[in-house]
């Protein structure tokens, strides 16, 4: 219910908040059972005005040498890049499935961060303190810009945004589009 949780924070808690807003999402990125479709959440995050900082941590316990529940109580031992005893075909399929889900999770979390002008972090559990320090530091050292679109663009359509700065040392993270309000031109 990852997507539902993010949508709930945006809708129920941030709609009434003025000024700068940020969500820091610590997750493995996998969603089970959300009602809101992925694209709908991405669209909502684009318009929410809240930066979403996603912190991904991998949930593949086979790589970490923990007990494999499929073969408990046997332990897996890693020597260099080799696993002993070698994985059986069923375990190899499971490993590939977990890796594929992790890749999909990283893709979604990266997109979620980008559409909201936030940032994606890939962190080991042991590095979470440093990752949160980076997020806090970034939030302290950024500027927020806004603009009012030309009234001729009040057509209810999505429009592209592009922000450029002259300082070569500046890093720009900005929304890439906005949904224009629709104004009726009544008689």
Say what the pLDDT of residue 180 is.
81
Strand 177-179 relative to strand 82-84: parallel, antiparallel, unpaired?
A: unpaired
Say what the pLDDT of residue 186 is.
52
In order, the DSSP letters of 107-173 are HHHHHHHHHTT-EEEE--GGGHHHHHHHHHHHHHT---------GGG-BS-EEE-----S-TT----
Per residue in 122-176, pLDDT (tens digit) is 988 778 899 999 999 988 888 777 777 887 778 888 888 888 889 988 888 777 7
Domains of the chain as residue ranges with CATH: 2-64+103-144 (3.40.50.410), 146-187 (no CATH)
Say what the pLDDT of residue 40 is.
96
Stated pTM of the model: 0.72
What's the rounded Cα separation, in Å, for the pair 11 and 48? 8
The mean pLDDT value of the chain amounts to: 82
In this prediction, residues 84-103 reach a mean pLDDT of 80
Say what the pLDDT of residue 187 is.
44
In this prediction, residues 101-120 reach a mean pLDDT of 94
In order, the DSSP letters of 20-32 are -EEEEEEE-----
């Amino acid at each position: 219910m990852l997507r539902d949780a993010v949508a709930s924070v945006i809708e129920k808690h941030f709609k009434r908040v003025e000024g700068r807003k940020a969500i820091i999402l610590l997750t493995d990125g996998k969603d089970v059972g959300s009602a809101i479709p992925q694209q709908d959440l991405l669209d909502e995050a684009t318009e929410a005005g809240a930066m979403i900082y996603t912190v991904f941590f991998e949930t593949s316990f086979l790589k970490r040498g923990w007990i494999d529940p499929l073969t408990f109580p046997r332990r897996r031992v890693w020597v260099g890049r080799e696993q002993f005893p070698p994985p059986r075909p069923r375990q190899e399929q499971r490993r590939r499935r977990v890796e594929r889900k992790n890749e999909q999770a990283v893709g979604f979390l990266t997109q979620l961060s980008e559409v909201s002008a936030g940032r994606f972090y890939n962190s080991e559990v042991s590095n979470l303190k440093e990752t949160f320090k980076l997020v806090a530091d970034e939030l302290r050292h950024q500027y927020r810009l806004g603009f009012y679109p030309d009234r001729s663009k009040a057509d209810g359509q999505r429009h592209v945004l592009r922000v450029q700065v002259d300082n070569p040392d500046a890093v720009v993270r900005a929304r890439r589009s906005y949904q224009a309000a629709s104004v009726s031109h009544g008689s």
